Structure 1
Amino acid sequence: MSAYQQMVSDLTAAGATLVAVSAQTPQFTGKTREALGITYLLLSDTDNHLARQYGIVFELEDELDQIYRSLGADLKSVNGSDSLTLPLASAFVIDQDAVIREAFFNLDYAQRVEPEELIAAVGRV
């Protein structure tokens, strides 16, 4: 998310607006925004309602939940949901008519589309 902060001006220059969506509650999303110094729009998708519409939600195995908990991350609390679901790491380029023109996905939440790839995709729309 910090890498995307650095490209906000490039996206703006390309005529795009960066919007990020987090599975976290608004409270935790605000803490993330503050901790990372994010100035672009960061929205909360509690219980993954939007992510479900995009078909990018997956269920965590109990073992993975236990690993998260051992690291101090209580996903049910942070995400404000009793379900153990998360959205895939993803990015979309959506045109002014609300049509998805480019989509990027990764099963590894730590691997996101490179900022340069996203800027190039915006240039193709």
Structure 2
Amino acid sequence: MPSLNISTNVPLEGLNTSEILSETSKSVAKIIGKPEAYVMVQLKGSVAISFGGTEEPAAYGELVSIGGLGSDTNKKLSAAIATILDTKLKVPKSRFYIKFYDVKRSDFGWNGTTF
């Protein structure tokens, strides 16, 4: 059930967001080792973001998962997602933060109940 939310100050109009979502979803599933059928990715553009005192392209992400996260995995996820944002949205890797949350099954709801 990995859920990734990405906010960026880059406008998404005219971009192939389906390609970005698909590539990100596949990467998250592969790196965490969970079925892609349970991966959710949300991408919000044109969000007011200042990073280092400028409004140059930047992004912030949060990834929540029930298990599958840890030091090595988080590094791989950070690298993969940063590469996608750099390639597809021109957000430099140095202007992207991501926070990881490893939660208990009872702390995440789905299908009218919790996992």
Shorter-chain TM-score tier: 0.3 to 0.5
Q: Which has the larger radius of gyration?
A: 1
Which structure has more RCO (C-alpha within 8 Å, separation ≥ 6)?
2
TM-score with structure 2 length normalisation?
0.34
> TM-score, length-normalised on structure 1?
0.32
- Greater helix share, structure number: 1
